[in-house]
Amino acid sequence: MPSSLPPATRAIIAANVIAYLLQQVAGDAMVQLLALWPLGTLFQPWQIISYAFLHGSIAHIFFNMFALFMFGRPLEYFWGSARFTVYYFACVIAAALTQLTTAALAGSQEPTIGASGGVFGLLLAFAMYFPRQRIVLLFPPIPMPAWLFVLLYAVLELVLGVTNTQAGIAHFAHLGGMLGGALVILYWRARHTPRS
């Protein structure tokens, strides 16, 4: 796979870094305006995309951008920049809609920020298109095929979401990003299936 960073992946990472730096200056004002708030007085339609450019800490943005770099790059080379961009933002929107639904059911009033919904969609796509590609975990350093890594990660997210473990992490939004990605890929495949 090529080592250079393709344009859409580079632009998304740059936009996230710039937004994070602006957050350090503007603080709560950016969260108030751009985070994904539950349906109500603070919710605005643009938040279903803008929330994905905000992050809560340096670790939060680092791991999201590292994953975007690792998985976005091969997918953008495989699909091309236009299709990659459509896919990524479809996952971001699907994650937002899932989070809005979950928040409404739980009665939560907390905002959601972070690119994780889009990143989880990229993880799913990587596992579908490069299932045998080896992924080595950081902790512990265990190599495994992409399809197994993503399956285990999805199961873990589901368990953590259902048990409400790790409060403050939008586990169902992560799963929503994966679901949105799966639907986009299935749609693309159906469009290119020859009819008899």
pLDDT digits (tens, 9 = 90+) for 123-157: 999 999 999 988 877 667 888 888 888 888 888 77
**pLDDT value at residue 86:** 97
Contacts 24+ apart (CB under 8 A), 17-25: 17/61, 17/65, 19/53, 19/54, 19/55, 20/54, 20/55, 20/61, 23/54, 23/55
Nearest to 177, CA basis, from 122, 102, 134 = 122
Q: Is 4 a catalytic residue?
A: no
Of 12-21, 66-75, 157-166, 177-186, the least confident: 157-166
Q: Is 174 a catalytic residue?
A: yes
**pLDDT value at residue 160:** 74
**pLDDT value at residue 88:** 98
**pLDDT value at residue 166:** 66
Distances (CA, A) of 196 to 149, 193: 36, 10
Task: Say what the alpha-carbon torsion angle 168, 174, 175, 179 is, to the nearest 10 degrees.
Answer: 150
| Confidence band of 2 (pLDDT split at 50, 70, 90) | very low
**pLDDT value at residue 25:** 92
Question: Exactly one of 50, 55, 171, 174 is catalytic; which is it?
Answer: 174
Q: What is the DSSP secondary-structure string of 33-49?
A: HHSBPPSSTT--TTHHH
- Residue 114: other Cβ atoms inside 10 A: 26
| Confidence band of 196 (pLDDT split at 50, 70, 90) | very low
Query: What homologous superfamily is domain 7-191 in, according to CATH?
Result: Rhomboid-like (1.20.1540.10)
Classify residue 149 as exposed, middle or buried by CB count within 10 Å of its CB (0-12, 13-18, 19+): buried
Of 90 and 169, more confident:
90
Of 1-15, 64-78, 100-114, 175-189, the least confident: 1-15
